[in-house]
Amino acid sequence: MTTPPGASGSPLSGNGEPRPGRWTDLDRPPLNAAALRRALVRDGSLWTALDVLDRTGSTNTDLVARAASGAVPEGAVLVAEEQDAGRGRLDRQWSAPPRSGLFVSVLLTPGEHGVPVERWGWLPLLTGVAVATALSSAAGVDTALKWPNDLLVTVDGEERKAGGILAEASGSGGVVIGIGLNVSLRADELPVPSAGSLTLAGAKLLDREPVLRAVLRSLERWYRQWCAAAGDPGVSRLQETYAAGCATLGREVRAVLPGDREMVGKAVALDADGRLVIALPSGGREAVGAGDIVHLRPA
């Protein structure tokens, strides 16, 4: 773990003010890397290594680089207390105050378990199911899934984005899955008004360590189940579980597609490849595999 700002040297800054340190905000204590390793990195576990960084640009970028060099095995976990160059889909920025959220990336190699490459596109959806089920059981928060990779919570009767998932090829035959989750962000700290957090959604648990343990254990269960079915979304029950928790299905949506193309219609299903099937006003249907989805009205 790197040394946090203000953790060594003089306790005062040049103007006499206290330096920011790992215990400056007592409502947001640092993660205990050793305790997390004891709980998660064990014989027979999917998780083989776990590191906590005080600050980095992006855990995904860091873990992709480590995986490309062959330095880490499947199941490596990289967590950051703070990210200053975190990214979501479409290169959107993801940032939050130090220790206010969970910023974690994991390395998975489904090919080693017999999952064909054409089914790897289910990994972000699988991760969404795993995170949503973990938050429901551990934090008492109902979390909905917005296709393909957003985690939604309800704040003051409105859907708010509290987290996101980003999958990137590692360059070594694997996939790095990044999870960003707002945990203790207060209303005045939200990056945009449409954002949310576990605390604003009334979560009964805001301690990041048990939340992280629950998320990774849930991800391990779903990943093993999916791999045992050779990535089949039906046999593993991933497709039906995602559909049951997806706030996009049944909604009128606008899909902003690559090439500056748009379509408006009703999201009616997920196909076997995890694509969103949209029923068009003309009566036809189109499956969308990439793009930005906007919910046009509540379900």
Are 167 and 224 members of one domain?
Answer: yes
Are 277 and 175 members of one domain?
Answer: no
Residue 25 included in any domain: no
From the list 170, 194, 198, the residue with the least C-alpha distance to 182 is: 198
Domain span holding position 273: 249-295
Residue 9 included in any domain: no
Q: What gap in Å lies between CA 251 and CA 131, rounded to an integer?
A: 22
pLDDT of residue 162: 97
pLDDT of residue 260: 85
* β-pairing verdict for 101-108 and 76-80: antiparallel
Instruction: Identify the CATH number of the domain in which residue 263 sits.
Output: 2.30.30.100
pLDDT of residue 127: 98
Residue 21 included in any domain: no
Are 258 and 234 members of one domain?
Answer: no
pLDDT of residue 14: 41
The domain total for the chain is 2
Q: What gap in Å lies between CA 294 and CA 36, rounded to an integer?
A: 37
Of the residues 202, 220, 244, the one at which a domain ends: 244
For residues 84 and 54, is the Cβ–Cβ distance under 8 A? no
Residue 267 included in any domain: yes
pLDDT of residue 96: 75
pLDDT of residue 99: 96
Are 237 and 287 members of one domain?
Answer: no
Are 181 and 287 members of one domain?
Answer: no
Are 84 and 217 members of one domain?
Answer: yes
Residue 131 included in any domain: yes
Average confidence (pLDDT) per 10 residues, the chain, 299 residues: 32 42 70 98 97 96 94 96 68 73 97 97 98 97 95 96 95 92 95 94 97 98 98 98 97 92 96 97 94 83
Residue 115 included in any domain: yes
Are 171 and 276 members of one domain?
Answer: no
The interaxial angle of helices 238-245 and 123-138, nearest 10 deg, is 60
Are 81 and 198 members of one domain?
Answer: yes
Are 135 and 256 members of one domain?
Answer: no
pLDDT of residue 144: 97
Look up tokens 């945009």; give the residue: 192
pLDDT of residue 222: 98
Please state the pTM of the whole predicted model.
Answer: 0.88
Joined together, the tokens standing for residue 173 give: 């035959």
For residues 139 and 151, is the Cβ–Cβ distance under 8 A? no
Are 85 and 222 members of one domain?
Answer: yes
Are 89 and 222 members of one domain?
Answer: yes
Are 274 and 231 members of one domain?
Answer: no
Residue 94 included in any domain: yes
Instruction: Identify the CATH number of the domain in which residue 169 sits.
Output: 3.30.930.10
Joined together, the tokens standing for residue 36 give: 């997390």
pLDDT of residue 27: 81
Residue 166 included in any domain: yes
pLDDT of residue 116: 97
Q: What gap in Å lies between CA 141 and CA 107, rounded to an integer?
A: 27
